[in-house]
Amino acid sequence: MSAERIKVLRERLIEALTPQRLELEDDSAAHVNHIGARQGGGHFKVVISSQHFVGLLPLARHRLVYDAVGDLMGREIHALSIEAHLPS
């Protein structure tokens, strides 16, 4: 199931933000006893850089990421750590 979640996350972020860099990490194993994990939601880390972030403050960058995957939050994703960078 985790591999499928990573695949969906990757597809959504690529489609919405055309990232120059995209790293996804499933950190769910470290949160096995956490209530969100017991309910089936995973813990993920995203490191992303995108031209879409130019001119945006970090909070606005995070909002773009959440917009791309928002419908997965609370079901497939319990927690999402985001590092949203400007392109190099």
Radius of gyration of the chain (CA): 13
Domain ranges of the chain: 2-85
Strand stretches in 1-88, DSSP E:
21-26, 42-49, 77-85
2-85 CATH fold:
GMP Synthetase; Chain A, domain 3 (3.30.300)
- Residue 44, pLDDT > 60, answer yes
The pLDDT of residue 28: 75
Question: Could you tell me the pTM of the whole model?
Answer: 0.85
Over residues 1-30, the pLDDT tens digits come to 478 889 999 999 999 999 999 999 988 765
Q: Where residue 40 falls among pLDDT bands split at 50, 70, 90?
A: low
CA distance 59 to 31: 25
- Residue 63, pLDDT > 70, answer yes
